[in-house]
Structure 1
C-alpha cells in the first residue's frame, strides 16, 4: 500500500510492460504511480489541483500525447507534463516543449533519469499549488473580518485570543509596544472583529499633527472660532461616529489637550472649538504608546488620571525578537502578499534564508521585516535570492542565547517551515530534510510540533 502522502504520478502508455517498469521504479523512489492505458482514461481521473505530475507516451492509439498535453494545459497550465518520445524524434520533442511540456524522455531511458525528471516536476508542482493556495487565502482574507495576526508562538496565540475577546466587549483599549511592532494592525483587528466593524476606523498619529491644530483636528471647530476658520469643520471624533478612534503615539499628546481627551472619554461627548454645545459620541477609543505611560505620569509628562482611564485593558504587543520562531512564517506571508501585488513569483525560503532571518535583531520589528520581504520579491533576483545579501551591512544578533539555544531555534524553524510547505505530509518532510521517520517524530515531540496542525492550513 502506498503512503497516502506520496506524490502521485500518472503513467500513461498503451504498452503494459512500460507502465509496470516505470511504476515500480517510481514506487521504489517514494512516489505513488497511477498507471493508465490511454489518455482518455487518465483525463477521466485527473482531478483539479492534482498534486503530482503526468508522464505520457506521445504515440498512442486514440488521443496521443500531444493532444493530451494540450488538454491538460487547458485545464491547468501549471501541471507538469513529461512526454516520452521515440528514439531520434527530436522534432516532436521540440514541438512538445514549445507547446508547454515540462520535459521529455527519449526511449530507452534509465530509471534514474525518470526519477530525476519526476522529482523536479513534483517540486515545481508543489510550489505552484502552494502559491495558488496562498493567493486564494489572501483573496479570502480580504473579505474576512479584520487583519490577520500571523504567528504560531504562544505569545501570538495569546494575543490573538485576547483580541478576539476584547473585540466583543465595549471598552477602551491601550496598546503598548515598540515602534513597528504592529500596534496599528492590532487596533484594526479589534475594530473589524467588533460590532463596529462596518463603521469608520479613524487613525490619528498624535506625534505627527502640529500642536497648533491638533485640538481642531480632533474636536472640530465652528465658523469664526479663530482666524482662518471660514466654515464649520467636523473633527476626527465626530467623523468616527459609531466606529473607532485610534490614537497612536498618545504619549506625544500635549498635556493641555489630555484634559479635554479625558473629558471625552468620561462623558462620551465633544464640544467643537467656538461652541458650547456638547455633541454626543458613540465611539470606541484605542490608544497606542511605545513608552511606559505610568513612568511618564510619575515624571509629569503624562496625566495620571488619563493614564488610569486608558488603562482599563492593556495589550502588550511583543517585539519581533521576542517571537523569533514566527519570523520565517511572517516573512513568507509578507513575500506572498508582495508577489501577488506585483504579479511576480514568490520563491520559497531555504535553510540559508531562514538562518539569516533568525540571526538578525530586527530593531524595526515587523515593519522592517515586511520591507525586507518586499525587497526580496522585487530585487532578490539581482542577488540570487540570498537574504544574507539583502541584509548585508546590517548587524545580526541572536540576543543573549547560548549556542545550543540558537541551534535549537534554527532547527525548530526549519522543521516548522517544512511542515507548512508540505502541509504536514511526513514522507515529503523526511525527504526534504534528509531525516529518518523516527528521528523526525522525535524532533516533532521535542519541539511540541504536530503534523496535523499543518494539514488544515499552512498559516494560522
Structure 2
C-alpha cells in the first residue's frame, strides 16, 4: 500500500471555511488534499484510476452530491465516495449509502471522524486498484502465453528455460515431481509453447481410470469388440492426433497395458480393440510420475523397457519447500484468480501472514497453497483473515531450515513484493519499508535482487 503522504483526497464543498478546515486536517495527517467549490470542477480534474477518495457535500448548487455519486459510480464503481450530510438528515444518509456511497459524514464532524473514514476508504481503494492491476496482468499473460509458471527463484527460472527449450523439440517428456508440484500445468505449458498448440491436448489420469476400461479409453474399439461395444469408439490417442497426450500418474498403469503403450511409443500407431488395422498417429507423449520409475522397474512394478523409452527427456519439478521465496507471490496469484472467479477482492497479505506462509512445510506443494488461497478469499472474512485459522498445522516457529534462514527468506520476500508493487522505484520502496536507501541497496546486493528487473514489467 502507498503511504498517506502519497495519496490525494478530493474535497468538494461550496462552503470555503469547510474546505479549508478539511484540507488542514488532511494535510496534518499526511494526505494531499485537492479542494473544489463545485462538483463540475472536481470531475474535470479527476484522473482515471484516481488512487484516493472523494469527499463531497450533498447540498451544493448546480450538480449536487447525489448526482455526483451516480456519475462517479458509472465511471468507476470501486472509487470510494464519502458524502457530507446535514445534521439530523438521516434519510439522506440512508439514501446515499443505498446509492453506493462508501460512508457519510454528518455536519458538524470532528477531524478524527474525517480521518477515520478517509483512511478506511483509501485502504479499500488501494486494494481495488491492486486487484484490478493483478487481474489485468493475469488476463494479458494468460492470453499471450497460456499456462505459466509463477516465481522469481533461480530454480523456477531454470525450469521455465527448460520448458521453453523442450517445447521446441519433438521428443517425448517424463515429468517427475511430488504430488501437487504442477505437473499438469507444466505439461500444458509445453504443449501451448510448441508447434502443436492448435491441436488437441488430451490429459489422461492413469490412476483414475478403472483398469477394466482403460485399454478401451486409450486405444478405442471397433463395433462388437466386446459386450456393450455397439459402435466404433475413437480412443484418446487417436483423438489427440496432431497434438499432445498427457499421461498423468503413469506409474499406476497396469503392466499388461504398459506393453501396448511401449508399442505405441515406438511405432506411433495404435490398433483399436477388435481391429486389425493400425492407425498411424502424429502425437507427442508427456508422462508424469511422483515415484522413481527406475526403482519401480527394479522392483518389477514398472516395465524397464518402457522406463528407458520414456526417459529420453526427464524434467524434475521442484517441491514448494525448495523455492520458499516464491510462496507469497504464488499465494497472491492464486488469491487473485479465486477473487476474479468469484467476483470478490483478494485481501492483501500482512507481514504476519507472510511469515505464516513461509514457516509452513507445504507437503501438498502448490496444490495445497492454491487451495489455501481460495479458502482465504472465500472464507477468510469468517476467520477475520487469519491464515493460521485456515491452515491446519501452520506454525509460527521456524522450520527445520533454521530461524536465521527463515528470517532471510522473510526479508527477501518483503523487499521483492515492495519492488514489484512500486515497479522498481527505490525511493518508494524505501518509504514503504521505512529504510534508508543505502541499507536497501545493501540488502538488494545480499539477496541478489536488482531494482531494474522490476521496472516497467508486470510481476510474473
Matched, 1:368 2:364: no
Tell me which moved more, 153-162 or 390-399: 390-399
Question: What TM-score comes out, normalization by structure 2 length?
Answer: 0.86
Residues in 1 aligned to 2:384 and 2:286: alpha-carbon distance in whole angstroms: 43
Cα shift at 1:249: 1.5
Tell me which moved more, 384-393 or 421-430: 421-430
In structure 1, the residue corresponding to 2:150 is in which secondary structure?
coil
Cα shift at 1:233: 2.6
Tell me which moved more, 354-363 or 95-104: 95-104
Tell me which moved more, 97-106 or 245-254: 97-106
Residues in 2 aligned to 1:247 and 1:34: alpha-carbon distance in whole angstroms: 61
Residues in 1 aligned to 2:67 and 2:349: alpha-carbon distance in whole angstroms: 36
Unaligned runs of 5+ in 2: none
In structure 2, the residue corresponding to 1:265 is in which secondary structure?
helix
After superposition, where does 1:325-340 map in structure 2 within 5 Å? 325-340=325-340
After superposition, where does 1:54-93 map in structure 2 within 5 Å? 54-58=54-58, 60-84=60-84
In structure 2, the residue corresponding to 1:288 is in which secondary structure?
strand
Indicate the residue corresponding to 1:215 in structure 2. 215
Residues in 1 aligned to 2:371 and 2:332: alpha-carbon distance in whole angstroms: 12
Residues in 2 aligned to 1:106 and 1:208: alpha-carbon distance in whole angstroms: 63
Cα shift at 1:331: 1.8
Indicate the residue corresponding to 2:262 in structure 1. 262
Tell me which moved more, 65-74 or 133-142: 133-142
Residues in 1 aligned to 2:449 and 2:28: alpha-carbon distance in whole angstroms: 29
Deviation per CA, 1:216-244: give whole Å up to 9, x if none: 32222333444554433322111111111
In structure 2, the residue corresponding to 1:128 is in which secondary structure?
helix
After superposition, where does 1:192-211 map in structure 2 within 5 Å? 192-211=192-211
Indicate the residue corresponding to 2:6 in structure 1. 6
Deviation per CA, 1:381-412: give whole Å up to 9, x if none: 22222111122456788543121111111222
Residues in 2 aligned to 1:34 and 1:20: alpha-carbon distance in whole angstroms: 10
CA change 1:93–1:295 in 2 (3 A) is: same
Indicate the residue corresponding to 2:409 in structure 1. 409
Indicate the residue corresponding to 1:287 in structure 2. 287
RMSD of aligned alpha carbons = 3.3
Indicate the residue corresponding to 2:176 in structure 1. 176
In structure 2, the residue corresponding to 1:344 is in which secondary structure?
coil
Cα shift at 1:111: 5.8
CA change 1:301–1:411 in 2 (3 A) is: same
CA change 1:158–1:4 in 2 (3 A) is: farther
After superposition, where does 1:117-128 map in structure 2 within 5 Å? 117-128=117-128
Residues in 1 aligned to 2:284 and 2:246: alpha-carbon distance in whole angstroms: 9
CA change 1:410–1:73 in 2 (3 A) is: same
Residues in 2 aligned to 1:184 and 1:456: alpha-carbon distance in whole angstroms: 31
The number of residue pairs the alignment matches comes to 458
Question: What TM-score comes out, normalization by structure 1 length?
Answer: 0.86
Cα shift at 1:183: 0.2
Indicate the residue corresponding to 1:48 in structure 2. 48
CA change 1:91–1:410 in 2 (3 A) is: same
Is the CA contact (8 Å cut-off) linking 2:359 and 2:394 kept in structure 1?
no
Residues in 2 aligned to 1:133 and 1:27: alpha-carbon distance in whole angstroms: 28
Residues in 2 aligned to 1:186 and 1:424: alpha-carbon distance in whole angstroms: 29
Deviation per CA, 1:224-280: give whole Å up to 9, x if none: 444554433322111111111011112222334333322222221112233332211
In structure 1, the residue corresponding to 2:6 is in which secondary structure?
coil
Cα shift at 1:102: 2.9
Is the CA contact (8 Å cut-off) linking 2:422 and 2:428 kept in structure 1?
yes
Matched, 1:159 2:173: no
CA change 1:274–1:101 in 2 (3 A) is: closer
Residues in 2 aligned to 1:218 and 1:271: alpha-carbon distance in whole angstroms: 10
Residues in 2 aligned to 1:102 and 1:224: alpha-carbon distance in whole angstroms: 68
Cα shift at 1:282: 0.8
In structure 2, the residue corresponding to 1:54 is in which secondary structure?
strand
Residues in 2 aligned to 1:118 and 1:67: alpha-carbon distance in whole angstroms: 21
Residues in 1 aligned to 2:222 and 2:104: alpha-carbon distance in whole angstroms: 77
Residues in 2 aligned to 1:346 and 1:200: alpha-carbon distance in whole angstroms: 34
CA change 1:230–1:337 in 2 (3 A) is: same
Indicate the residue corresponding to 1:38 in structure 2. 38
Tell me which moved more, 284-293 or 57-66: 57-66
In structure 1, the residue corresponding to 2:315 is in which secondary structure?
strand
Indicate the residue corresponding to 2:447 in structure 1. 447
Unaligned runs of 5+ in 1: none
